[in-house]
Amino acid sequence: MTTIALVGAGAVGTRAARQLVDTPGIKRLLIADRSRAQARDLADRVGGEAVSLSADGLMGANAVALTIPSSAAARLAKKIISTGVPVATATDDETGTAALFALNGLAKKNSTQILVGCALLPGLGDVLARHGANALARADEVQAARVGAAGPTCAASVRRSRREPAREWSNGEWQTSHRSGAQLVWFPEPIGEQVCEQVSLGVENLRRAVPEATFVLSRAGEAPPRRSSFSFRGRRETGDLWAGVRIEVLGWQGSARASIVYGAVEHPAAAAATVLAIATARLAGLLPAVKLEQTKPGAWSLGEAIDPTSFLAELAERGVRVAVFEGVAGSR
């Protein structure tokens, strides 16, 4: 009997819970939140079991999904992986992901894994970047962009990142970007063109997913307030905002410069929850069709750990689909 623990009963956690209880092989779902009443309410709605927000309360889980603020995620993840239980997190801000990647040695010591940044960007963006790199003879550049946020915590991290100096990965080292001004970025409809500014969000995960890339940057913008609809196993959800991810991988195809551009648009919390649910279920040994690229203990980005083709197939099965455009690469 496979048991999954979910920590965080907010926007992403609520949708992740619904997906996890519908995932074949999961027989028991433990739900914890700093608000015990909120955890009980969600557990009652999805047929889960409310437990205390502590390492002891999560005992018995085969894998744990964290959808809590990054300041708390690293502390709790440290306690959980110390017991040998794998963890998947939806953390997306630069400071939070750095703290989780710093648990690499502890995860190795306890022969377990932690998947860092299992949301949109980082998360889905990492997988798309790896997929694009695999399609090229040689990839050397990744440019990413996102609009929208999965919840208040995510929105705050995006706003904070847009205020801070942006870092990019260039020629094997971190550099503070000197690119000025905003840029129009294309996303699939109904979002279309959006103004985005360069940020540091997601760059670390992207460079891990495509280690051969010599240049990696990320941008972020606001999403337009339009209605969205999301479907999983016949059940539909609606929300007030769209979220979009755009990934461009550049490199070489034979002797010609080439690029592959991916775009995905969905309800932000539902799409992030889908990514997190798949990652958590796979850590627990379920969803065998989703192949693992990395089985060694440690802290990994999703793009490092998961085979992109099989992951995207499972994502499409759950209602999140990706558009692709292949063309001739231009300049930065």
DSSP class per residue in 257-270: EEEEEEEEEE-HHH
pTM of the model: 0.90
Quick one: how far is CA 277 from the chain centroid? 10
Mean pLDDT over 26-55 rounds to: 92
The highest-confidence range among 5-19, 153-167, 173-187, 231-245, by mean pLDDT, is 5-19
Structure confidence at residue 181 (pLDDT)? 65
Identify whether the C-beta of residue 216 lies closer than 8 Å to the C-beta of residue 169.
yes
Mean pLDDT over 174-178 rounds to: 84
pLDDT at 293 over 60: yes
- 274, two tokens: 């889908």
Q: Angle at the Cα of 304 (from 332 to 213), degrees rounded to 5?
A: 25
Structure confidence at residue 230 (pLDDT)? 44
Structure confidence at residue 156 (pLDDT)? 66
Q: Angle at the Cα of 123 (from 118 to 124), degrees rounded to 5?
A: 125
Structure confidence at residue 239 (pLDDT)? 45
Q: Phi and psi of 327, rounded to 5°? A: -160, -170
Between 239 and 272, the higher pLDDT residue:
272
Structure confidence at residue 151 (pLDDT)? 61
Q: Phi and psi of 287, rounded to 5°? A: 50, 60
- Beta strand 63-66 with 2-7: parallel, antiparallel or unpaired? parallel
| Residue-wise pLDDT tens digits, 117-137 | 999 999 999 999 999 999 999
Domain ranges of the chain: 2-117+273-309, 124-268+321-327
- 315, two tokens: 């994502």
Smallest CA-to-CA distance from 13 within 47, 44, 42 is with: 42
Question: Cis ω on the peptide bond leading into residue 268 (within 30° of 0)?
Answer: no
Q: Which fold has domain 2-117+273-309?
A: Rossmann fold (3.40.50)
Q: Phi and psi of 190, rounded to 5°? A: -90, 10
Structure confidence at residue 279 (pLDDT)? 98
List of residues 6+ apart from 22 with CB closer than 8 A: 232, 233
Structure confidence at residue 177 (pLDDT)? 78
Cα Dmax for the chain = 61
Q: What percent of the chain has pLDDT over 70?
A: 86
pLDDT band for position 327 (cuts 50, 70, 90):
low
Cα 183 to Cα 151, 204, 267, 332: the distances in Å are: 24, 21, 23, 11
Quick one: how far is CA 97 from the chain centroid? 11
| Residue-wise pLDDT tens digits, 206-256 | 999 999 999 999 999 876 655 444 444 444 444 447 788 999 999 999 999
Structure confidence at residue 301 (pLDDT)? 97
CA distance 67 to 274: 12
Mean pLDDT over 27-39 rounds to: 94
Domain 124-268+321-327 has CATH 3.30.360.10: yes
Identify whether the C-beta of residue 216 lies closer than 8 Å to the C-beta of residue 142.
yes
**Residue 215 host element (H or E):** strand 215-221
CA distance 171 to 140: 10
